[in-house]
Amino acid sequence: MVSEMWRVLAPGGVFFSRLASTIGVEDQVTRLRDRWHHLPDGSDRFLVDEAYLLQITSRLGGELLDPLKTTVVQNMRAMTTWVLRKT
């Protein structure tokens, strides 16, 4: 899905995404399979982490416009903001 959004983004365009992540709650989530985890809020979600987002950024040839930022929501889940520019 990200690859297709990136493909249609114009050169110089900005990609902004807010994703569920393990950042800041690593010891509070249970890995189920692949990148799927069980969270303290009772949900099962596909979670990203810093290394994964940086790997995708590199693969896309993007440039981070802002450092990754994560908000931990009452120790129940974490949401990470990922902002790239297409060069």
Mean pLDDT of the chain: 96
pLDDT of residue 78: 97
Mean pLDDT of 51-66: 97
Mean pLDDT of 43-52: 97
Q: What is the pTM of this model?
A: 0.91
Mean pLDDT of 29-47: 97
pLDDT of residue 35: 96
Phi, psi of 17 (to 5 degrees): -145, 145
User: Which amino acid would we find at residue 19?
Assistant: L
Q: What is the Cα–Cα distance from 17 to 84, expressed in whole angstroms?
A: 9
Going by pLDDT thresholds of 50, 70 and 90, the confidence category of residue 68 is very high
